[in-house]
Amino acid sequence: MTVLHLLYVLVFTVLAVLAVSNLIRNMMTLGRDVQRQDSGAWSSRSGNGAVKIPHPELLDASGQVVDEPLMVMRALPIEDVRSQLDALYHASPGGSEADSASDG
């Protein structure tokens, strides 16, 4: 029985060393790639790096680069959000019955 335990510990140690070495190798590769990358929105995949191609999500329907923000967030007052959520809740099936049952 002790031979199986020793074999288990040996296999576990080998796998742990492989996993840690793979993690270190991947982190070093990622660090090199980040340092080499000059812009997050542009990709230079050609051999000499002279041609820069924008990511497809940054292009409009005609193929031109979009200069406006892709996501706009606006702040809403808590009262407006609560009233919208209440309206959705009351518009849902069973929303008014569940509300009246919890009040009584």
Task: State pLDDT tens for residues 35-90.
Answer: 776 555 454 454 555 567 788 888 888 888 888 877 777 888 999 999 999 999 99
Asked whether residue 19 is assigned to any structural domain, the reply reads: yes
> For the ranges 6-15, 22-31, 89-98, which has the lowest average pLDDT?
89-98
Question: Computed from CA positions of residues 10, 12, 17, 21, in that sequence, does the dihedral angle turn out positive or negative?
Answer: positive
Residue 72, domain extent: 2-93
Asked whether residue 45 is assigned to any structural domain, the reply reads: yes
d(CA 26, CA 51): 27
Domain count, the chain: 1
d(CA 93, CA 104): 20
Whether 104 shows a pLDDT value over 50: the answer reads no
Q: What are phi and psi of 60, to 5 degrees?
A: -85, -170
